Amino acid sequence: MSLRSAVVVVVAFASLASIKAVLTLDNDGERVLCRYFDPAWMASVKEQRAFEKSLFTKTYRAASDIIMLEGVTCVYKSSVDLFFYVIGAPDENELLLSFALNTYFDALAQMLRNQVEKRVVMENFDVVALALDELVDGGIILEADPAVIVQHVAVRNNDEVPIAEQSISQALQTAKEQLSRSFLK
Amino acid sequence: MSKKDEDGDYNPYASIDKSAVVQEARQAFNETTINPRRCNLVLNKLLFLLYSGEPLGTTEATETFFAITKLFQCKNITIRRLVYLAIKELAKVANDVIIVTSSLTKDMTAKEDMYRPAAIRALCRITDSTMLQGIERYMKQAIVDRNPAVSSAALVSSLHLLGSNQDIIKRWVNEITEALNGKTLMAQYHALGLLYHIKQRDRLAVTKLVTSQTKGSLRSSLAYCNLIRYAVGSMQDDPALYNELLQFLDLCLRHKSELVVYEAARAICSLKNVTNKDIIPALSVMQLFLTAPKSIMRFAAVRTLSQVANRYPTAVAVTNIELENLIQDSNRSIATLAITTLLKTGREASVDR
């Protein structure tokens, strides 16, 4: 990159919208929860899928946590059978992207009792979606403290006690309900 | 995904079907007595669809949107929060979304703190200029609300709305300044960004904002990062400020947050005519980052160095030993950047090794 563009970029990216996308893919590279925030970037689902595919191919085995791909910076981390990505403009502060990724991941880990894996994420999809909504609003980092995100999301009503806090009989009841639900579908 | 089913892998959304979800939503949300548990499940499916599947068409989206408005009768907090999420997504495609304005305005001003921030953000997604004038009073109050989440929600929403509503939002400068000087870190970050964007076209006002804040008491690291970016802009607009703001950047190199330290170092490296002497402290920071255990820090440093090496090959050459060690880095991007940087700074001696 030339000097000139490097200088211009720092000023142009004075915008607060530093995050282009937050993606969660499973270990087949399939979408779990993907949100794109920059309408000018990867506007169509087709483009998004192609990008995710190439991102996944390049990252799922590599033991690192940052990559430049198709002109954007992607920071990522994996957990059991999931891959989490935060994507920013090429000249966004890499540490800031990584900071956002860690905030999101830590919030999820706290809410899902350290079971950040596909099954649990799917079962608690509402919680995960709300956490992401508390983290980023239209590409702008809304909250940086995982504890605050957890506090904002964890507004379960009394009739919905989180699995980890249920007694065995309650857990059995929930399991039964979930089973019958999946049969009734 | 069907393969997964045979494996017995639990995935309630494996066989999710767009039209079935739309149908289910219409049935569940239109019942006379709303069943929160059932609605929650349907909302989960709907959100999964919106966040991961193909987008809904206008008719489907509008139909679903109208079904969802029925859920405002339900007092369940989780349901309400999910309704906001769905509204924000569906508002991009559905027609006549302003129908929920009064419900959202009610939630935005409710006593229930759990509703307010999310309601503000949802409301601002469906708001246009005429409606914004209608809620202006509430927005100004929200910006200075004692609940930090409410304040941030209002500030960030204002930023999104700023483009076509400059004249209205300009009138909120006093409230925004109050948030900037408040105690909440995130609100500081959002308020500084909003003020900057409001004043962006007025050079003098930006300069005033930047110089006052560099002497001020910002505590948010994120806000600091942006202040550094704004400072670089001011330095290039007004050479008279160059030395004063360079001193500020230099001071930021000793900030307690590495986020700020790196932002300041790369800002100094990006300055057009920075002298060899002035760039040295920034390069020392980069040198330190090159040996950091976190690969993101090594990557950040080597990338900045590769950009600045064209202009300051001799100054960057002091980091050659660290760069040589990175050629073997497990992260291939880091290794590649290290090699290309060395090609710009290296001498025969290092090529031999």
- Tens digit of pLDDT for each residue in B42-72? 999 999 999 887 778 999 999 999 999 999 9
Mean pLDDT value of segment A12-21: 80
Band of residue A168 on the pLDDT scale cut at 50, 70, 90: low
Domain-embedded: residue A137: yes
Residues B29, B51 contacting (CB under 8 angstroms): no
Residues 32 to 61 of A: which have CB under 8 A from any B CB?
Answer: 32-35, 45
Domain, as residue range, for A91: 17-154
Decide if A155 and B78 are in contact by the 8 Å CB cutoff. yes
pLDDT band at A61 (very low <50, low <70, confident <90, very high): confident
Q: What is the DSSP letter of A17?
A: B
A–B interface: beta-carbon pairs under 8 A? 169
pTM: 0.88
Do B186 and A137 lie within an 8 Å CB cutoff? no
Which range is least confidently modeled, B9-23, B68-82, B137-151, B315-329? B9-23
CATH code, domain carrying A35: 3.30.450.60
In a domain, A159, yes or no: no
Residue B270 has its nearest CB partner, among A6, A93, A159, at A6
State the smallest CA–CA distance between residue A157 and chain B in angstroms: 7
Helix (H, G, I), strand (E, B) or coil at A22: strand
Q: Is residue A175 part of a domain?
A: no
CB atoms B48 and A35 under 8 Å: no
Question: What is the pLDDT at residue A169?
Answer: 54
- Please tell me the predicted confidence (pLDDT) of residue B278: 95
In a domain, A9, yes or no: no
Q: For residue A127, tell me if it sits in a domain.
A: yes
Domain-located, residue A185: no
ipTM of the complex: 0.92
A2 assigned to some structural domain: no
Q: A156 CB near a chain B CB, below 8 Å?
A: yes
CA–CA min distance B80, chain A (Å) = 11
Contacts of B266 (CB under 8 A, 6+ apart): A10, A93, B282, B300, B304
Total number of domains in chain A: 1
- Does some domain include residue A132? yes
Confidence of residue B16 (pLDDT cuts 50, 70, 90): confident
pLDDT confidence bin for B3, thresholds 50/70/90: very low
Which residue on chain B is closest to A160 by alpha carbon?
A: B37
Residue of B nearest to A4 (CA): B272
Which residues of chain A have a CB within 8 Å of the CB of B54?
Answer: 45
- For B150, the 3-state DSSP assignment is helix
List, in sequence order, every residue forming a beta bridge with A75; answer none if it has no partner: A66, A86
Among the partner residues B53, B81, B300, nearest to A95 by beta-carbon distance: B300
Per-residue pLDDT tens over the stretch B217-256 = 899 999 999 999 999 999 988 999 999 999 999 999 999 9
A67-98 confidence digits (pLDDT tens): 999 999 999 999 999 999 999 998 899 999 99
Task: Give the three-class secondary structure for B8.
Answer: coil
- Contact by Cβ (8 Å): B150, B131: no
Q: Please give the pLDDT value at position B287.
A: 96
Residue B215 to residue B217: CA distance in whole angstroms: 7
Chain centroid, CA A102 distance in Å: 10
CA–CA separation, A6 and B309 (whole Å)? 12
